[in-house]
Copies of this chain bind each other. A is one copy, B any other.
Amino acid sequence: MFKDPRRQKQLYILIQKLGLPAAAPVNWSLLDLALTHPSVSRTHNYEQLEFVGDSVVRLVSAELLLEIYPQESVGEFAAIRSILVSDRVLAQLAESYGIEPYLTIGSNATGNPAGRQSWLADAFEAVLGALYLSTHNMDLIRPWLDRVLMTKAEEVRNDPARFNYKDALQEWTQRKYKILPEYKVAENKQPKSSLSKENLAQSAHLQSDRFVAEVWLQNRCLGKGYGHSKKASEQAAAKEAFLSIQNTEA
């Protein structure tokens, strides 16, 4: 039970929104802490639970991906997971479960909309941390989180454009070699020869080739790509690198 009956009632409602019974063995103090933004207290806030929760969602994702795609390479797992555990997706999940009204946050922090995605994601991770620490297993998490992560994983697989290949590649090189890939971007002085041919796609091609990027891992060029912006060319290079690694590993 919890000191403040109104707060206890709020937490009961939240737990039921997640799909858990009100009688679930939740550590209510931890759940309350998970919903306390650092703007409220510098010492008594969700940061430690977020640290635990970040590992929880990574482990649940790993476990789930292995269960639903047992034939996939770890490169594919890492790529999908990097999206599942991104701030963008975790903040979406926090929103879909309506966590925001239960979050205690200082007015100076709510005034900064740019930070909103970040603290929604942080609070969601902290809630996962609190639920994990309530039972020291995934019993209060997987019964509801599996379904939404599975849906999201399917979305990612069905739409390769959702992939952030730079993130996926970085995740892979860090895990495998403990180093980061480096990008070299330049203005593309020599448009591809195909551009000299007359066709309708020509101008679009021309624009999308303004920059050329290479991605290097130590002394090895892993991929090359073109794009209308520096960022787009880097993503294209990362994509080529990532897909070639996938083929080598498979």
Chain A binding surface, main DSSP class: helix
CB distance from A116 to the nearest CB of B (A): 15
Residue A213 interfacial (CB < 8 Å): no
Contact present for A74 and B62 (CB under 8 Å): no
Residue A89 interfacial (CB < 8 Å): no
Contact present for A136 and B138 (CB under 8 Å): yes
Q: How far is the CA of A137 from the CA of B60 in the complex (A)?
A: 11
Q: How many residues of A contact B (CB 8 A)?
A: 30
- Selected contact of A50 from candidates B58, B70, B74, CB within 8 Å: B74
Contact present for B137 and A136 (CB under 8 Å): yes
Q: How far is the CA of A70 from the CA of B44 in the complex (A)?
A: 11
Q: How far is the CA of A48 from the CA of B63 in the complex (A)?
A: 10
Q: How far is the CA of A136 from the CA of B132 in the complex (A)?
A: 12
> Inside 8 A of A175's CB, which chain B residues have their CB?
54
Contact present for A59 and B63 (CB under 8 Å): no
Closest B residue, CB atoms, query A137: B137
